[in-house]
């Protein structure tokens, strides 16, 4: 990086922690450039490259918000959003569609967004503030809407309401920035990225017969017969209970999942529940059971990853998260299955901004993968890259990184109620968009969502779509 040109980035003297966070993330971590942040008296961001005369000016909107209005409704983007015909002005920009929604435009709708002159260029929308807004989940600290599980629903998000939830809009903004910079400084290069698929599995119910109370087994078997019309599944559930045999339990799909991942050179991640704070919602198994510990050893020995799945009531209880992580870590150490990095996902995708991120950071976890919507597939944070979390209340970047969740099994078939063909089409679309930016496609598929051949066949097809297109 020492031979990389030095960007001089001058910013107004307001919201400096927020500016430094987003600028270092975009320039250093994602574009691989060196930057020197400076303060100036102007009301925009000015970007130059040391030793070169051209200047790029980027409008400032979000970070011009008066402090009493910060994290207030008045600071949210004005609706409806302006749609920019981006390819007319920057045809080389890699974007998902011809028009790009702008969260914080700085000029009227009938004026160009990019202007060029003898000195350089101007981007007349708040590109940096818009990226900050999406990545930090700013609106979730402002909009009070929650669902039955106290989650911020996709339908309350500006991305869903303005129709860009299926677009990694932060990646698109980044590509616009890069395209303009490359026109100004044609010698610029950036590090290569490589698209990758990350299959993750929340181990809510490692078994549905073995070590499961009779009341739940019988209720499940009744559902197999009446709702699912699958007598074979009902018998398998009952057989695992009667025989006390984990190997034959229908939800014991772990070997099958790992084998499928290994065939495609993928590493699966399995997130284990370490405590029970909400009764049956947290399942019935514990880390102390020998079959769970044997499963953790098997996961690690085969080159896959053990992670944390904090219980239902933990998402706004920092001490509980720390306790559960300590418990999982102790078991992992005793079984010699400690991962190189500790991560996982909150149970039921229950997540509060910034409480949960801060709790994970304080507990010593390395990455989280909760930030995806339960009710809709898409890019909740607008990105398909891992990135450092930022606490909007303390105004500090955390050591913890977020690995955004893009697709969950029950989102497709339960929440959205899609057919197999519809789910396949949607999965193909978001995979293609993630691949466009050499991103990281994080998939959540529960081991207990593979009870029938139809479910297993769809998962096979999903991995094929994600891995090979």
Average pLDDT, the chain: 97
Predicted confidence (pLDDT) per residue in 166-186, tens digit: 999 999 999 999 999 999 999
pLDDT of residue 448: 97
pLDDT score, position 414: 97
pTM of the shown model: 0.97
Give 215-245 pLDDT, tens digit per residue.
999 999 999 999 989 999 999 999 999 999 9
What pLDDT score was predicted for residue 109? 87
Q: Residue 19: is its pLDDT beyond 70?
A: yes
Q: pLDDT category, 3, cuts 50, 70, 90?
A: confident
Q: Read off the pLDDT band of 91 (50, 70, 90).
A: very high
pLDDT over threshold 70, residue 314: yes
Q: pLDDT per residue over 397-435, tens digit each?
A: 999 999 999 999 999 999 999 999 999 999 999 999 999
Is residue 277 within 8 A of residue 313, CB to CB? The reply is yes
Contact assessment for residue 278 and residue 315, using Cβ atoms and an 8 Å cutoff: no
Q: What is residue 468's predicted lDDT score, i.e. its pLDDT?
A: 86
CA distance 324 to 460: 33
Closest residue by Cα to residue 341 from 350, 354, 332: 332
Answer whether residue 358 shows pLDDT above 60: yes
* pLDDT tens, residue by residue, 278-302: 999 999 999 999 999 999 999 999 9
The pLDDT assigned to 389 comes to 98
The pLDDT, as a whole number, for residue 69 is 98
Q: Identify the band that residue 2 occupies on the pLDDT scale cut at 50, 70 and 90.
A: low
Residue ranges of domains in the chain, CATH in brackets: 6-184 (no CATH), 196-206+251-468 (3.20.20.370)
Q: Average the pLDDT over 319-346 and give the result.
A: 98
Per-residue HEC secondary structure of the chain comes to: CCCCCEEEEEECCCCHHHHHHHHHHHHHHHCCCEEEEEECCCCCEEEEECCCCCEEEECCCHHHCCHHHCCCHHHCCCCCCEEEEHHHHCCCCCCCCCEEEECCECCCCCCCCEEEECCEEEECECHHHHHHHHHCCHHHHCCCCCCCCCCCCHHHCHHHHCCCCCCCHHHHHHHHHHHHHHHHCCCCCCCCCCCEEEEEEEECCCCCCCCCCHHHHHHHHHHHHHCCCCHHHHHHHHHHHHHCCCCCCCCCCHHHHHHHHHHCCCCCEEEECCCCCCHHHHCCCCCCCHHHHHHHHHHHHCCCEEEECCCHHHCCCHHHHHHHHHHHHHHHHHCCCCCCCCEECCHHHCCCCCHHHHHHHHHCCCEECCCCCCCCCCCCCCCCCCEEEEECCCCEEEEEEECCCCEEHHHHHHHCCCCHHHHHHHHHHHHHHHHHCCCEEEEECCHHHCCCHHHHHHHHHHHHHHHHC
């Amino acid at each position: 990086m020492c031979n990389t040109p030095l960007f001089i980035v001058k910013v107004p003297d307001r919201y400096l922690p927020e500016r430094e966070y987003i600028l270092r993330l975009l320039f250093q971590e994602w574009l691989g450039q060196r930057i020197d942040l400076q303060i100036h008296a102007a009301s925009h961001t000015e970007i130059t490259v040391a030793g070169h005369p051209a200047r790029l000016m980027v409008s400032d909107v979000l970070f011009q918000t008066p402090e009493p209005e910060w994290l207030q409704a008045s600071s949210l983007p004005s609706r409806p959003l302006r749609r920019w015909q981006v390819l007319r002005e920057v045809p080389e920009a890699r974007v998902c569609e011809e028009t790009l929604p702008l969260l914080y435009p700085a000029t009227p709708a009938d004026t160009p967004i990019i202007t060029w002159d003898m000195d350089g260029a101007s981007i007349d929308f708040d590109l940096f503030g818009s990226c900050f807004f999406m990545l930090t989940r700013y609106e979730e600290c402002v909009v009070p809407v929650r669902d039955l599980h106290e989650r911020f629903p996709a339908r309350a998000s500006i991305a869903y309401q303005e129709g860009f939830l299926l677009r990694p809009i932060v990646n698109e903004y980044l590509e616009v920035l890069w395209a303009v910079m490359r026109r100004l400084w044609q010698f610029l290069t950036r590090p290569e990225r490589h698209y990758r698929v990350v299959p993750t599995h929340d181990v809510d119910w490692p078994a549905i017969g073995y070590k499961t109370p009779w009341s739940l087994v019988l209720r499940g078997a009744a559902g197999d017969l009446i709702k699912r019309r699958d007598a074979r599944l009902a018998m398998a559930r009952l057989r695992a209970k009667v025989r006390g045999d984990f190997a034959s339990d229908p939800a014991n799909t772990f070997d099958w999942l790992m084998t499928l991942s290994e065939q495609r050179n993928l590493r699966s991640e399995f997130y284990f529940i370490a405590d029970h704070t909400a009764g049956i919602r947290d399942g019935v198994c514990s880390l102390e059971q020998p079959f769970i510990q044997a499963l953790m050893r098997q996961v690690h020995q085969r080159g896959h990853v053990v992670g944390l799945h904090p219980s239902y009531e933990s998402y706004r209880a920092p001490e509980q998260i720390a306790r559960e992580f300590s418990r999982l870590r102790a078991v992992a150490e005793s079984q010699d299955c400690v991962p190189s990095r500790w991560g996982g996902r909150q149970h039921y995708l229950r997540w509060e901004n910034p409480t949960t991120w801060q709790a994970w950071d304080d507990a010593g976890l390395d990455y989280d993968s909760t930030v995806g919507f339960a009710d809709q597939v898409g890019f909740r944070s607008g990105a398909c890259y891992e990135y450092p979390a930022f606490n909007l209340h303390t105004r500090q970047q955390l050591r913890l990184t977020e690995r955004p969740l893009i697709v969950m099994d029950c989102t497709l078939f339960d929440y959205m109620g899609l057919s197999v063909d519809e789910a396949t089409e949607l999965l193909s679309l978001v995979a293609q968009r993630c691949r466009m930016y050499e991103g990281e496609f994080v998939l959540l598929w529960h081991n207990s969502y593979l009870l029938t051949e139809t479910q297993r066949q769809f998962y096979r097809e999903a991995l094929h779509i994600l891995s090979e297109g």
